[in-house]
């Protein structure tokens, strides 16, 4: 007979974040033990390698326990909060039964399932297999521990998410690849990592041959070996910050991009005085009232027009099939610095937007990024990116491509400088543009044409009309 406590307490597990991500950090709890919660109420905020998202609880009840404190990184499938759904106080502990009955089939919670923004529905995990060896009787019934399972979200024929649950050993993608390369079956490995995760050392140990037993004479007198010194540092003069979440993912992505795609960067300095005048005129236009109108808006529009004139630049490299994939749409990425690190959300189908629509999309993107609410979906599928280093007073730079994209345009600071205009030296508003591109996809001629077109439009913004 199952005790009432076990039957009424539901364990909410870290949802499957998909896309190869296996963990998330708990940033903030919005509830504490004893609080009442309702179906759909947000109970915590977590940060994955993609973004910070809020997790809703999938049932009504009273919080019994928070299993992890804020700042803890938790593997997918691990229970993070226990909720008593009985509707009352904790029942008295039931006496242990004389004989253990047959286990009842696990019931799936009814109602809405927890959804991690941008990832779909995650199902509950399976029960842990029984331990081998003699069973030691205990006086109190221990809560059921469950082994995390891999939960895959797919789409059915109507486009709705369908969760499929398969049980397999816990291991991060690099460890799985290592095991595959070494021919090691993960199901035969006893994990040594935290929460039952298989580590690289476990895989290497399983792949290593059994050492031969060699008898060696015992030395008469062996000198005592001093323990290895523990590395230390001056905490008053140094601060060490763990790299995780968005910063960790960005670092890995930038290293992969820099050493995978052959970068070429070209530069051009351009007089943007007329563009700034147009910005001021647009601010007074009733069609643009309430919208974010700034030089970045016209720079983005200029890049979109340049791509339309040179469509071959908008592509990606398919390494598996050794193909160039031409994109007939532009998802325009805008690099944004946030307290959690650099992110690059993108405006979907930016090529099809009017100037007011593009201004509205840019404004929403910036506000969402500053609030830390950018969804993972908003950072996927980008084709080209703009990074505005000029806001920091920087003249220009050599930007690194966002992984999977063909080009990135860096915009430097706009400054009043002496410039030859109509045969005379005059003070003009000048900036420097830098375009980095993947030389597998874009040759020097194509890259130069795109950059020259952007510069020409910013110098004479009426080309937005004649070239569009």
Enumerate the active-site residues: 439
Give Cα separations from 444 to 268, 330, 387, 447 (angstroms): 14, 21, 21, 5
CA distances from 108 to 85, 127, 173 (A): 14, 12, 29
Specify whether the CB–CB gap between 80 and 29 falls below 8 A: no
What Rg value do the Cα atoms of the chain yield, rounded?
29
Q: What are phi and psi of 370, to 5 degrees?
A: -65, -35
Pairing relationship of beta strands 61-66 and 79-84 according to DSSP bridges: antiparallel
Angstrom CA distances, 90 to 14, 84, 138, 145, stand at 24, 8, 21, 20
State how far the alpha carbon of 202 is from the alpha carbons of 21, 106, 194, 207, in Å: 20, 32, 12, 9
Task: With beta carbons less than 8 A apart as the criterion, state whether 410 and 396 touch.
Answer: yes
């Amino acid at each position: 007979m199952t005790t009432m406590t076990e039957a009424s307490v539901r364990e909410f597990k870290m949802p499957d974040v998909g896309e190869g991500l296996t963990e998330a950090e708990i940033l903030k709890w919005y509830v504490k033990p004893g609080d009442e919660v309702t179906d759909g109420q947000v109970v915590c905020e977590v940060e994955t390698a993609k973004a910070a998202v809020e997790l809703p609880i999938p049932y009504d009840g009273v919080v019994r326990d928070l299993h992890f404190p804020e700042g803890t990184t938790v593997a997918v499938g691990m229970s993070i909060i226990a909720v008593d759904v009985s509707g009352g106080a904790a029942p008295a502990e039931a006496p242990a039964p004389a004989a253990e009955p047959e286990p009842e089939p696990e019931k799936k919670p009814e109602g809405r399932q927890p959804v991690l923004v941008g990832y779909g529905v995650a199902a509950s995990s399976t029960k842990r297999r029984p331990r081998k060896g003699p069973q030691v009787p205990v006086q109190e019934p221990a809560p059921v521990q469950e082994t995390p399972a891999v939960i895959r979200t797919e789409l059915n024929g109507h486009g709705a998410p369908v969760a499929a649950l398969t049980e397999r050993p816990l291991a991060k993608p690099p460890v799985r690849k290592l095991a595959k390369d070494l021919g090691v079956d993960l199901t035969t490995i006893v994990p040594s990592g935290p929460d039952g995760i298989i580590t690289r050392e476990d895989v290497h140990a399983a792949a290593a041959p059994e050492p031969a037993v060699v008898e060696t004479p015992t030395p008469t007198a062996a000198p005592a070996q001093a323990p290895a010194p523990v590395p230390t540092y001056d905490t008053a003069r140094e601060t060490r910050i763990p790299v995780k979440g968005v910063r960790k993912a960005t670092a890995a992505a930038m290293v992969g991009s820099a050493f995978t795609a052959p970068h070429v960067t070209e530069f051009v300095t351009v007089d943007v005085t007329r563009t700034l005048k147009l910005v001021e005129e647009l601010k007074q236009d009733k069609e643009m009232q309430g919208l974010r109108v700034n030089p970045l808006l016209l720079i983005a529009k200029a890049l979109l027009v340049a791509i339309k004139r040179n469509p071959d630049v908008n592509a990606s490299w398919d390494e598996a099939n050794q193909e160039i994939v031409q994109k007939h749409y532009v998802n325009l990425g805008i690099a944004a610095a946030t307290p959690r690190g650099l992110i690059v959300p993108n405006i979907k189908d930016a090529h099809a937007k009017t100037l007011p629509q593009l201004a509205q999309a840019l404004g929403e993107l910036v506000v969402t990024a500053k609030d830390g609410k950018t969804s993972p979906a908003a950072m996927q599928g980008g084709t080209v990116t703009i990074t505005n280093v000029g806001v920091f007073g920087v003249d220009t730079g050599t930007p690194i491509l966002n992984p999977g994209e063909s080009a990135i345009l860096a915009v430097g600071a706009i400054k009043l400088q002496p410039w030859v205009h109509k045969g005379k030296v005059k003070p003009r508003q000048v900036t420097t543009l830098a375009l980095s591109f993947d030389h597998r996809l874009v040759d020097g001629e194509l890259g130069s044409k795109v950059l020259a077109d952007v510069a020409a439009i910013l110098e004479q913004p009426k080309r937005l009309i004649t070239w569009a």
